[in-house]
Amino acid sequence: NSANREVTLLDYGAGNVRSVRNAIKKLGYTIRDVEKPSDLASADKLVFPGVGSFGQAMKILTKKGLVGPLKDYIASGRPFLGICLGLQLLFEGSEESGGCEGLGVIPGAVTQFDTRLGLPVPHIGWNNIAPTRGSALLDGVGDRRVYYVHSYRSATPSPANSEWVLATTQYGGEFVAAVNRGSVSAVQFHPEKSGATGLDILAGFLHPKEAVAARQAAKEAASSPASPPSGPSGLARRVIACLDVRSNDQGDLVVTKGDQYDVREKDGGRDVRNLGKPVDLAARYFEEGADEVAFLNITGFRDCVMEDTPMLEVLRRASERVFVPLTAGGGGREGGEKGGRGERRSRHQTAESGADKVSIGSDAVDAAQAYYVRGGVADGSTAIEQISAVYGKQAVVVSIDPRRVYVTDPAAVPHTTVRTAKAGPHGEQYCWWQCTVKGGREGRDIGAVELAKAVEALGAGEILLNCIDNDGVGKGFDLELVDAVSRAVTIPVIASSGAGCPQHFSEVFHSTGAAAALAAGIFHRREVGIAEVKLHLREQNIPARL
Ligand code: 1PR
């Protein structure tokens, strides 16, 4: 009956839970929001996605009079699913907000990952789940990877809370990935961003019997073994599909792809190359197993206000069909002066429209140059700092568009140079990579290595490292560039530009510190499949999500 297909959602308004809503709807449920404490008493299935910080969440719940009713709901044993911070809040407290009490349902406290061994924090990406016992939530899901984004966790189960622990994961040691007792469950990862596996876990919560039966049926129907042979464990190297989107000469938004940033056909007509519709293509990549999908608005709608552009609609619609992390970037400065209200509003809207990460290109170059002029001081004025402060650093990606510059004498330039295996046109042995703005149209006097260091200091969580020389050429990534930048920072670096075959992916993961590799043209033109790339990575003993 319809009541069974209703989920009560506790969204306390501290951040964007659009993807959780979309995932619940995708599974055929309607959502009822908790508006007042009594809505908890009358709920019969509750989902609690935690966003923001531990202390802030407890403060809002207390202010809204929800703490008591929430504890009562959990104690009643009715179905409950906490997500991410929604798991952590079940504990007695967290190091994140010292002294602040949690809901105290589970004994023990939540602590920060130990960064002393150089462990990058937050823990972001696709990692395993190792169940410690059977459950409708995770049975049949095995060690398939799910998506995590968090800086705090409940470390190794203690005797006091071991009966709650349903699954653990390794990241600089063991931590609690899922808990369960009766109908009360919570997960540290994001099922709404964990692809088909995540939706299946959510189904295991919403309708356990059906989900278990469906998994069993799928297992029996499969002619091959139900789960692919497990590959190397741990954080997977990500494979990202990127869609460069712009309006064509007829004014429609299309996915395009250039050669070295020229997106026009080479014939006399010089039309913008049209490789498909943004939302449909993003949905295709989700189904094919992309670990993430990125949209870059390369029109640079710099003169119009973001609200008037169809790009936000693209994001909204994509987030109804794509259940892996979405990045959106390009043209963030519209609607006002740099750093002004218009810019903040449009970037805020990007995040609210379903993007998990906002990518910043040209403005990051300005920000980095200003940072060095100030003598390496962050003053809070940039979009990088502001978005990072509001949404967390994992939500800020800086997209770099560098071009190789050869030099004979490294001492002659102030930039970090490398000795290159591919000598320049005049036999130069050294090179650096000059950052550009406006889609490569304007070069700036700052190198990619220096830019990466500056934006990390300003609070960027990730770097999308393009390379104009290699872009769209299909001859492989610029390994020297990826190596130089990934050595210079501790945040994850996404290698981009030049992928032509699966071997290019294993090459960049074997010879550089890249955490992810991104491609566009080969996927759009169906020359190489995403699954093909992943299988190749596994063969090469590189952890990948299949
Ligand atoms: O400067 O904040 O407005 O952001 C603009 C964004 O648009 C930047 O991220 C910039 O990289 C991107 N961009 C601007 N102009 C172009 C262009 O092509 N004319 N596209 C452009 C860059 C980079 C990748 C690409 C991969 C892989 N595209 O995302 O898809 O390099 O391609 P490949 O696998 O086919 O080689 P702002």
| Domains 2-221 and 238-539 are alike in CATH topology | no
Per-residue pLDDT, averaged over 452-476, amounts to 97
The reply to whether 401 belongs to the active site is yes
Mutate to test the pocket of ligand 1, among 260, 333, 399, 470 (most ligand atoms within 8 A of CB): 399
> Would you list the domain boundaries of the chain?
2-221, 238-539
Mean pLDDT of the chain: 91
Q: Whose CA is nearest to atom 6 of ligand 1?
A: 330
Q: Give the pair of three-digit tokens for residue 460.
A: 């960027």
Q: Of 11, 39, 96, 192, which is the active-site residue?
A: 192
Q: How far is the CA of 342 from the centre of ligand 1 (A)?
A: 23
> In the chain, pLDDT over 70 holds for what percent of residues?
93
Q: Which residues of 457-477 are buried (b: 16+ CB within 10 A; e: fewer)?
A: bbbbbbbbbbbbbbbbebebb
Residue 169, pLDDT > 80, answer yes
Atom index in ligand 1 nearest the CA of residue 437 equals: 1
User: Which pLDDT band holds residue 225 (cuts at 50, 70, 90)?
Assistant: low
Atom index in ligand 1 nearest the CA of residue 256 equals: 18
Per-residue pLDDT, averaged over 359-386, amounts to 96
How much is the pLDDT for 97?
A: 84
The reply to whether 72 belongs to the active site is no
Atom index in ligand 1 nearest the CA of residue 300 equals: 3
Residue 153, pLDDT > 90, answer yes
The reply to whether 271 belongs to the active site is no
Q: Of 363, 385, 401, 483, which is the active-site residue?
A: 401
Q: Whose CA is nearest to atom 23 of ligand 1?
A: 466
Residue 309, pLDDT > 70, answer no
- Residue identified by tokens 């407290």 is 93
Atom index in ligand 1 nearest the CA of residue 473 equals: 36
Distance CA 417, CA 410 (A): 6
153 in Cβ contact with 176 (< 8 Å)? yes
The reply to whether 207 belongs to the active site is no
How much is the pLDDT for 333?
A: 53
Q: Of 11, 39, 84, 334, which is the active-site residue?
A: 84
Q: How far is the CA of 258 from the centre of ligand 1 (A)?
A: 9
Q: How far is the CA of 252 from the centre of ligand 1 (A)?
A: 19
How much is the pLDDT for 307?
A: 46
pTM beyond 0.95:
no
How much is the pLDDT for 390?
A: 82
How much is the pLDDT for 495?
A: 98
Of 247-261, 290-304, 312-326, 362-376, the poorest mean pLDDT is in 290-304
Q: How far is the CA of 439 from the centre of ligand 1 (A)?
A: 7
What are the tens digits of pLDDT across the range 210-219? 999 998 888 8
Taking the CB of residue 171, how many other CB atoms lie within 10 A of it? 21
| 329 marked as part of a ligand binding site | no
Residue 308, pLDDT > 50, answer no
Torsion on CA atoms 80, 82, 83, 89, rounded to nearest 10: 180
Residue 306, pLDDT > 60, answer no
| 331 marked as part of a ligand binding site | yes
How much is the pLDDT for 335?
A: 38
Q: How far is the CA of 296 from the centre of ligand 1 (A)?
A: 6
**CATH 3.40.190.10 corresponds to the domain 238-539:** no
Q: Whose CA is nearest to atom 29 of ligand 1?
A: 242
What are the tens digits of pLDDT across the range 497-518? 999 999 999 999 999 999 999 9
Residue 334, pLDDT > 50, answer no
Residue 344, pLDDT > 80, answer no
- The dotted CATH code for 2-221 is 3.40.50.880
What are the tens digits of pLDDT across the range 6-32? 999 999 887 778 999 999 999 999 999
How much is the pLDDT for 13?
A: 84
The reply to whether 33 belongs to the active site is no
The reply to whether ipTM tops 0.90 is yes
User: Which pLDDT band holds residue 248 (cuts at 50, 70, 90)?
Assistant: confident
Helix axes 311-321, 341-352, angle to 10 degrees: 20
For residue 93, what are the CA distances in angstroms to 102, 357, 466, 467?
5, 28, 42, 45
Atom index in ligand 1 nearest the CA of residue 474 equals: 36
How much is the pLDDT for 196?
A: 93
Mutate to test the pocket of ligand 1, among 455, 466, 481 (most ligand atoms within 8 A of CB): 466
Pocket of ligand 1 (CB under 6 A): 242, 244, 257-258, 261, 263, 296, 298, 300, 329-332, 359-363, 399, 401, 439, 466, 471-472, 496-499, 518-521
Q: Whose CA is nearest to atom 4 of ligand 1?
A: 330
What is the DSSP-derived secondary structure letter of residue 497? S
How much is the pLDDT for 119?
A: 82
| 470 marked as part of a ligand binding site | no
Distance CA 312, CA 314 (A): 5
Per-residue pLDDT, averaged over 422-443, amounts to 96
Distance CA 3, CA 238 (A): 39
How much is the pLDDT for 319?
A: 94
Q: Which residues of 123-160 are buried (b: 16+ CB within 10 A; e: fewer)?
A: bbbbbbbebeeebbbbbbbeebbbbbbbbbbbbebeee
